[in-house]
Every structure is written in C-alpha cells, then in structure tokens.
Amino acid sequence: MHAFIQSGIYHKRDMNPFYKRMKHPFQVIMQVNLQLMKYGIFFYQVQSNTCC
C-alpha cells in the first residue's frame, strides 16, 4: 500500500508539466461554464417570475 501511494506521488510529479499546461484552459472553460450556468439560472428565474 505504501509503495503504491509513493508510485502515485511520483507519477503525479512526472505528469506535473502536462497538468500545468492544461490547467489554465481547463479553468477558463470551467469558469465560462459556471458563468453560463449562473446566467441560465438567472434567466430561468426571470422567465418563471414574469410567466407566473
């Protein structure tokens, strides 16, 4: 078990440059998705308020 955890840590450290490259675009995509969800919920609430 301990060796497995160590190998996982080493593997993560080896993959770090890849994650560093990928982190920024992924974060931007997540932020855009969150903004769209927020606006979608907002518009849905406005529509339901004006409708009913």
User: pLDDT tens-digit profile of 19-52?
Assistant: 666 666 677 777 887 888 877 777 766 767 665 5
Helices 2-14 and 16-51: crossing angle, nearest 10°? 80
Model pTM above 0.85: no
* Higher per-residue pLDDT: 41 or 10: 41
For residue 1, is it within any domain? Answer: no
Is the residue at 2 inside a domain? Answer: no
Report how far apart, in Å, the C-alpha atoms of 35 and of each of 22, 26, 31 are: 20, 14, 6
Q: Is 44 a member of any domain?
A: yes
| Domain range for 18 | 9-50
In a domain, residue 30? The reply is yes
- Domain-located, residue 17: yes
Provide the number of structural domains found in the chain. 1
